[in-house]
């Protein structure tokens, strides 16, 4: 059996962070400390964990992390007012609103209130549009992580057929556009797609972003396909049946230690990019 390539996201993230640390030190020497402001509304345990992980990652690089925790009863207007204050704060370089927010909040309106220069997770419609045209400064972090992994392992995208399962505005759609901009042919699938297994078997590259544990089965994957699992579900499992897909794939990301660590690394990179821009570099 041909040896399988395990796409080690922890390794990729580690190398990215090493380069980022040098940039943080250079900024600090000139009086600028890159700062990421994270906003958590409510008490969702998973969201609290994600925010804490992002804060710890900032600390490890010598960055500032401003954690803002709002009551679950916060209104859309109150949240937007806070975001606008952060937009105007010169010490803040990136703003991250942790998803999901409580039901009474208009999440899209909140996202749209983030200034484009601080939209380090690519959640605004302007950021999405820039990504579609291939010149976004800060594309959505998980799609950026997927492309970074493919680049790191020198896996070609040009001329390949990529099948993306999922169409969210911060994952499935932007990663499809990024693959298209790299000259892949892209098929986007979703919950209403018929004959999904047949479509997946045509994919040279498969991106799983559906949010359902072990949803994609091994016999849905063509022999030799590259599988990138962007899912993370309860029990530390992704959106693909890893063991079953491993038997057919030529390369695959594990869960955990696959796409996730690189997503955080890209968030840090975008915040540092924003800090350098603000500092006039």
Q: Which of 225, 185, 227, 223 is nearest to 210 (CA)?
A: 227
Distance of CA 13 to the CA centre of its chain: 12
DSSP class of 112: H
- Output the CA–CA distances (angstroms, integers) from residue 135 to 115, 122, 130, in the order listed: 17, 12, 5
pLDDT at site 281: 62
pLDDT at site 3: 76
Strand partners, 67: 38
Residues forming the active site: 54, 98, 121
Q: In what order do the strands lie in the sheet with 94-97?
A: 64-70, 35-41, 94-97
SS3 label, residue 44: coil
Q: Which residues in 146-174 are b (16+ Cβ under 10 Å) and which e?
A: bbbbbebeebebeebbbbbbbbbebbbbb
pLDDT at site 1: 46
Q: Residues 16, 264, 123, 28: is their CA dihedral positive or negative?
A: negative
Q: What is the mean pLDDT of each run of 10 residues along the chain (281 residues)?
A: 85 98 96 97 91 95 97 98 98 96 97 98 97 96 98 98 97 98 97 95 97 96 97 92 96 96 97 96 62
Using only C-alpha atoms, the chain has a radius of gyration, in whole angstroms, of: 19
| Dist. CA 45–CA 220, nearest whole Å | 33
pLDDT at site 74: 98
| Dist. CA 239–CA 233, nearest whole Å | 8
pLDDT at site 191: 86
SS3 letters across 55-109: HHHHHHHCCEEEEEEECCCCCHHHHHHHHHHHHCCCCCCEEEECCCCCCCCCHHH
Q: Which of 116, 113, 89 is nearest to 101 (CA)?
A: 113
Domains of the chain with CATH codes: 31-116 (3.40.50.10860), 140-260 (3.40.50.720)
Place of tokens 């896996």: 155
235 contact partners, CB below 8 Å, separation of at least 6: 213
Q: Which of 78, 108, 98 is nearest to 37 (CA)?
A: 98
| Dist. CA 52–CA 164, nearest whole Å | 29
Backbone angles phi, psi at 207, to 5 degrees: -115, 120
pTM (2 d.p.): 0.96
């Amino acid at each position: 059996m041909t040896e399988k390539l395990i796409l080690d996201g922890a390794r990729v993230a580690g190398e990215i962070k090493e380069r980022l640390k040098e940039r943080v030190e250079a900024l600090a020497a000139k009086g600028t400390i890159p700062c990421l402001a994270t906003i958590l509304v409510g008490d969702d345990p998973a969201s609290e964990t994600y925010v804490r992980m992002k804060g710890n990652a900032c600390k490890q690089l010598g960055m500032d992390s401003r954690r803002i925790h709002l009551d679950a009863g916060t209104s859309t207007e109150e949240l937007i007012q806070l975001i606008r204050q952060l937009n105007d704060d010169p010490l803040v370089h990136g703003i991250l609103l942790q998803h999901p927010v409580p039901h009474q909040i208009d999440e899209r309106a909140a996202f749209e209130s983030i200034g484009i220069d601080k939209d380090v997770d690519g959640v605004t419609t302007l950021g999405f549009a820039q990504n579609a045209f291939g010149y976004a400064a800060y594309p959505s972090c998980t799609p950026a992580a997927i492309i970074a992994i493919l680049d790191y392992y020198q896996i070609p995208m040009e001329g390949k057929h990529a099948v993306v399962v999922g169409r969210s505005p911060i994952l499935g759609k932007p990663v499809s556009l990024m693959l298209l901009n790299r000259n892949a042919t892209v098929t986007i699938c979703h919950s209403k797609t018929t004959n999904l297994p047949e479509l997946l078997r045509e994919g040279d590259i498969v991106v799983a972003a559906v949010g359902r544990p072990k949803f994609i089965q091994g016999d849905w994957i063509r022999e030799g396909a590259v599988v990138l699992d962007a899912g993370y579900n309860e029990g530390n499992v992704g959106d693909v049946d890893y063991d079953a897909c491993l038997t057919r794939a030529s390369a695959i990301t594990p869960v955990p230690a696959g796409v996730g660590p690189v997503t955080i690394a890209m968030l840090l990179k975008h915040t540092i990019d924003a800090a350098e821009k603000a500092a006039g570099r």
